[in-house]
A and B are shown apart, each in its own frame.
Chain A
Amino acid sequence: MRRKLGRLAAVLGCLSLGSLVLTACAGGQVRHGVGGPNTVSFALPPSATPNWILPLPIPGYTASYNGVIQSALFVPLYAYDGSSGEVGMDQRASAAEPPVYAPDGKSVTITLKPLTWSDGMPMTTKDVQFWLDMVRAAKDDWGAYSKGLMPDNVTGFHIVDDHTFTLTMDKTYNPGWFTANQLTLITPLPQHAWAKDPDPRKAFDYLVGQAKQLGAYNTNPLWKVVNGPFALDSFSSSQITLAKNPRYTGPDAAHLDKVTFLTFTSSAAEYNVLLAGGVDYGYVPTTNLGQKGKLESLGYRVEPWNGWSITYIPYNFNNPALGKAFEQLYLRQAIQHAVDQKAISQVIWRGTATPGYGPVPQNNDPTFLSDVQKNNPYPFDLNASKKLLADHGWRPGPDGVQECQDANACGVAKGTRLSMTLLTESGSDETDGTMQELKSELSKAGIELRINAQPLNTVLANGTTCEPSSPACAWQLSYFGTQGSWYFPAYPSGEQLFATDAGVNFGNYRDKPTDDLITASTLSTSSQSMVDYSARLAEQLPVIWMPNPPYQVSAIDSALGGVTQDPMAGLQIQRWYRTR
């Protein structure tokens, strides 16, 4: 009898394990963070360890947050961020006074602020020239290079005095665009300490070589010469600490003694630590947004951090099977009508994402936003989708998938089936959910969507520009997922995205009027061309417009002040302070 009872216990044991999970309940108030009293710890996104300290970007060393570290140590010539409430120049965080353009718009005069390097040397125009010389000498290895733009478009550099210089351009540019998207690339570098070789190319190679030695960041004297509000305290692959630079002479001195950046393997790991009070400034995975109240009771304030970005799914217009179909605007309209952006934003993103109907970031800044884009020309409407297809000669086949019955009406060969494959990022609940929702709604309109989820790298490697004949053009739709939103520089023009043959125009979208509008947006001084561009692409649907998720949903220690959630993804850590 005893034996039998025992066996029963073993079976019951199986059943009872899960109930442990139920017992989760509120913990007590915990002191957040891991450092001393005037320090703050910040949680980095999963697998995003900064890996490049040199403020000259190099392909392959493009971890997010490199820029945050760099700009805290080396003040950029011009900083743009959203700290003022909309995206614009942040004068305090810039190394120079606002630029003065010549009336013909072909040259610009810039005056540096009286900043000092931490070894006591003043920052001078030579430091800017040092940057320009190196980038000119090694532009092909410089990560931000784009043919025809910086440094090709700067034809002359003229030193007026130690603090003033003039740049001459090859043609007239829109000053707003030039400052925001070109001058922001420049960072004065400590020429006296870093120019180990008079030849700028060799100097560049030397610095890059040094910067590749991550293990030596702590000790390398090069990186001790900084002019920003912070200096490097310690650097390891799992944790980076910046300490206040006591010799900073600018107007934007740091309040905190130290800021520590923590790395995490997964957002779940980060969230566990957040709940246990291990970080001051972390993020909440969307799936855990239901826990807002609990986080608040733990002393965090929970705020979405909106990005200066748009999110979309490119069509591969070069795909041999469906490229022709994708070229049909009515089909793109039918697909866009089947995207329930509001529901995806509300349910899957828990209200933190913003529906996006066009090429301009829609939630931060109304300057460039057209009414067409704002008002959504193609709202969620499955009947509209079906009607568009029916009107153009498509009929559902026996399996419910639309089939072209009339080549003339369809614009594609008779018998073409609306069955398409979407290459998407794996490992994200929100992406999975979005894809399932998309698949589900499209299926109701008779469009079959096959989801092929792959690690982000595979998606990136496969979903790129291709020739129609190449096997690489097998992809039809690709979604980079939550990490794949496009973050604009300060001026959200589309020269990299939707211009014919642009670098990131993966789907080979070609539209002459669009090209003209994009050119106008960078060269003309009026902002109307941007508004027209917004309207044009909201109507033309070069891609499937998707809800734009926030950069992250932050959980910030309520005792941490001075935080602006900058849409440009900057942190301005020097302005953080503790209220307790």
Chain B
Amino acid sequence: MTTIALPVRSRLPRSRLRGNGLALAGTVILVLVVAFCLVGPLLYPTDQVHTALDASRLSPGQQGHPLGTDDLGYDVLGRLMIAGRTSLAIGVLAGLLATAIGAIWGALAGYGGGWLDAVLMRIVDTGVAIPALFLLLVAATLITPSVLVLALVIGCVSWLVPARLMRAEAATLRERDFVKAITVMGAGRLRVVFRHLLPNAVGTLVVAGTFQIADAILLVAYVSFLGLGVPPPATDWGAMLSKGITYTYDGAWWLILPPGIAIVLVVCAINFVGDGLRDALAARGRA
């Protein structure tokens, strides 16, 4: 379940041994969704810049709009595509950023140990204790949101979990014999961190990264729900959903279901893939 603003949510260890069926399904879903968002507008071009108040709130099928139009007359199917681009772009960028920051932070803490570890991890604890919602609200008043800015902001509030993961991983790896052996033979800190710790944590990081992306997509949805999303006429699934929700009682299901399903589907799919990757890595670890 989600956790708004939960960069701080403790990532659950998931089951091993869940065959790869789900992962495959997840991959297929993701490929389809990405194709839908990227290629879709080429095959089904719509005007997502200019409003058309004379064609607003059409139900599906009317006037050649397969999924109807929204309150400003935007074609919902076309909007779903460009919204998906935003959601996926922010999700992927923010997820990668969070993972990258977290990885380096955690590696330094876990490998450095001692006071460095203490200082770095207290900062992480502090970050965890400050509600991300607060940071996002403040950030939104400081800057004009755009895809890049939002990705940056979300990335910067959600690196804590990967940092903790990476720290644990680094602390374990530090005790591994190959690290000891090469340290003893004179390898420097940077070499150990970048040549040994990070490559060995790639598995963990990739898995953490996928979950981070899923979380970021949800977080974007929340941010938009709070009215802090990308400025119109750009939009994302979260913004579409939160806007659609206000039409719940009108029975305008075409404003709610498509973005809602898109979010749930993509987040599920990414989690499936993440689980699959974890299984694969666990299997390789056992080999």
Contacts and interface: CB of A to CB of B under 8 A. Distances in A.
Interface of A: 3-4, 7, 10-11, 14-15, 17-19, 21-22, 24, 268, 271, 275, 285, 287-288, 290-291, 294, 340, 343-344, 346-348, 426-429, 432-433, 435-437, 439-441, 443-444, 450-455, 458
Given A7-B25, A432-B243, 9 more contacts: A22-B257, A268-B245, A268-B246, A290-B250, A435-B232, A440-B50, A443-B49, A444-B50, A453-B231
Contact of A347 (B56, B250, B253): B56
B174 to A, nearest CB: 38
Contact of B25 (A11, A19, A437): A11
16 contacts: A3-B21, A14-B264, A17-B260, A17-B261, A19-B257, A21-B253, A22-B257, A287-B71, A290-B249, A426-B227, A429-B243, A432-B243, A444-B50, A452-B144, A452-B231, A455-B227
Interface extent on B, as a size class?
35 or more
8 nearest interchain CB pairs?
Answer: A427-B227, A287-B246, A290-B250, A347-B53, A343-B53, A440-B51, A426-B227, A440-B50
B71 A433 contact: yes
Nearest to A288: B249
B149 interface: no
Contacts of A285: 246
B256 interface: yes
Contacts of A450: 231
B227 A21 contact: no
Interface string B241-263: 00101111111110011001100
B272 to A, nearest CB: 8
Nearest to B250: A290
B202 interface: no
Contacts of B141: 454-455, 458
Contact of A340 (B53, B56, B256): B53
Contacts of B31: none
B228 interface: yes
Interface in B16-38: 19, 21-22, 25, 29
Contacts, number: 119
B281 interface: no
Interface in B214-253: 226-228, 231-233, 243, 245-253
A344 B264 contact: no
A169 B13 CA distance: 79
A268 B247 CA distance: 10
B140 interface: yes
A553 to B, nearest CB: 14
B89 interface: no
Given A14-B265, A18-B264, A347-B53, A24 B256 contact: no
A18 B29 CA distance: 17
Contacts of B261: 14-15, 17-18
A440 B74 CA distance: 12
Nearest to A284: B249
B250 A10 contact: no
Contacts of A24: 248-249, 251
A15 B21 contact: no
B268 interface: yes
Contacts of B50: 440, 443-444
A62 B115 CA distance: 51
B175 interface: no
A273 to B, nearest CB: 13
A426 B227 CA distance: 6
Given A21-B257, A426-B227, A443-B50, A288 B232 contact: no
A455 B139 CA distance: 11
Contacts of A429: 71, 243, 246
